[in-house]
Amino acid sequence: MTKVIDFQTDPSKYRHWKVEYDGPVANLFMDVDETGGLFDGYELKLNSYDLGVDIELADVVQRMRFEHPEVKVVVMQSGKEKVFCAGANIRMLGGAEHSHKVNFCKFTNETRNTYEAALADSGQNYIAAIKGACAGGGYELALACNHIMLTDDSTSSVALPEVPLLAVLPGTGGLTRVTDKRKVRRDLADVFCSIEEGVKGKRAKEWRLVDEVIPNSKFDETVKERARELAANSEKADVANGIELTPLTRDFTEDAITYSTVEVTMYREGRRATVLIKGPESDAPKDMDAFTSEGAEAWLLRCARELDDAILHLRNNEKELGLIEFQTQGDPEKVIAHEALLLQNKDHWLAGEVLQYWKRLLKRVDMTSRSLVAIVEHGSCFAGPLAELLWSVDRSYMMLEEFDGDNRPTAAITMSDGNFGTYPMGNDLTRLETRFLGTPEQVEKLKSSVGEALQADDAEELGLITYAYDDIDWEDEVRLFMEERASFSPDAMTGMEANLRFAGPETMETRIFGRLTAWQNWIFQRPNAVGKEGALQRYGTGVRGKYDMERV
């Protein structure tokens, strides 16, 4: 039986990361347990990592935001001697299924993007303090930090050796961050990415691969000084106490997962899953003090956490369910009221963090390689942040007028101010701006409809949905779409959807994911890398990979 990957953890279960809190500074130590691999068949030597290590890191980064808002600077460092991190575990990569490698790299990218953006989003500044070898994914961990410090000794270096050693590429944005973020000169980047041994000392700084090179004798104290200095100069407001991210309540059965606000139903014969999001049952808290007192039970935060977990589960554990169908049920006015409290208090630390979490969650939906559809039935609550799902999906279908025997409130869509800037995509545009890329004036027109309950005929005319059908046609049209989608090649669907979802300008984020998708689905399946005589399979044997030298 295939192992189910669980993305929920907490500090009491960590095997690979340790955190020491010192007021506004957090010291984050990577100290990987060699025997703690997610699967059998490899050891996590030299601080190398697999998905299990990164699940813990994602949890650390998330808890840093919510449970420790007092932190202004995070120092990422190694808990081992003479090695910072050797990168993704090669034995794991060599033995993993292609789909696992792809999902692994996607999740690690999302995690790195999260702490890379922590300074802009939450005022938490990440520093990488490198002592020892820092190679491949290890250097990519550092690249996602805002400041890189390297000790100047004979054993410490930075390297991206995937091309010469493994016949693959850095899998978590390394090449893109070297050129686009670090702005390393192209020819020097070519040299850097072609050598196994990496670059040390002053040359690493001269080439812009690191920000500081410090003598070994002064390194530890200089790192502490830099962290204190950045914390003192931080504009992040002082926050005394965070909230606890309590464990999610989940019930797993063979064909369903039930949370408090989300229900996932899997229809394996039809190769699809329905994700039903239930709106809030109670009124919005009266103020941010009341919201804070609810902590992780506040509806907007609880719903985000549960939907996030559901999406990750479907991605990694239900790979043959090619269509995800989003539905909602509840009172749209209550959804709008819950969001409005946070929008009106964006300067409150917790309001900001919950809104930022919804931004990250919706980006995760965008990046999910499944066909996505929204089904807007009577009684639905596609409003505010839930309305964003309508413009994340590939198509949307909405009930038109009354349905015989259906006494639920008539289907409607309600936009809020949040739909016009609070939840940007990876291209730095809102989903509405991306949707109406050719007619930007339509976005301005839509602002006049904020707060209105738009029924199907108006929603279709405004371009907010794909199709609206009445009682006569609804069942057949939705069924035909789902059957058609299930009949297409999953490979063709993944390629088509990825091309169509990300219209508009390129950003470093879109380039990282776009390039990653292209190379993974090419290089990771080529025999030069993963064949019996490929570099990934032969690594560590003393025999180089055997290559088909034809350029394609």
The residues, any chain, with a CB within 8 Å of residue 487's CB and separated by 6 or more, are none
Q: Which residues of the chain have pLDDT under 70?
A: 1
Write the DSSP assignment of 257-319 as a string of letters. EE-SSEEEEEETTTTEEEEEEEPPSSPPPSSHHHHHHHGGGSHHHHHHHHHHHHHHHHHHH-T
Give residue 171's pLDDT.
86
- Say whether both 179 and 66 belong to one domain: yes
Give residue 411's pLDDT.
98
Give residue 515's pLDDT.
87
Contact 129, 149 (CB under 8 A): yes
Give residue 424's pLDDT.
98
For 66, the token pair is 């919510």
Contact 409, 379 (CB under 8 A): yes
- Say whether both 68 and 208 belong to one domain: yes
- Say whether both 224 and 257 belong to one domain: no
Spatial separation of the C-alpha atoms in residues 69 and 243, rounded to whole Å: 9
CA 161 to chain centre: 25
Residue 224 domain flag: yes
Spatial separation of the C-alpha atoms in residues 395 and 385, rounded to whole Å: 18
Give residue 399's pLDDT.
98
- Among 479, 499, 519, residue at a domain's last position: 499
E-strand ranges in 432-488 read 453-455, 467-469
- Say whether both 215 and 268 belong to one domain: no
- CATH number, domain at 381? 3.90.226.10
Q: What is the pLDDT of residues 378-396, one digit of tens each?
A: 999 999 999 999 999 999 9
- Say whether both 339 and 269 belong to one domain: yes
- Among 232, 260, 291, residue at a domain's last position: 232
Give residue 1's pLDDT.
40
Residue 131 domain flag: yes
What is the count of structural domains for the chain? Answer: 2
pTM: 0.96
| Domain extent for 349 | 251-499
- Say whether both 335 and 216 belong to one domain: no
Contact 161, 195 (CB under 8 A): yes
Spatial separation of the C-alpha atoms in residues 221 and 74, rounded to whole Å: 15
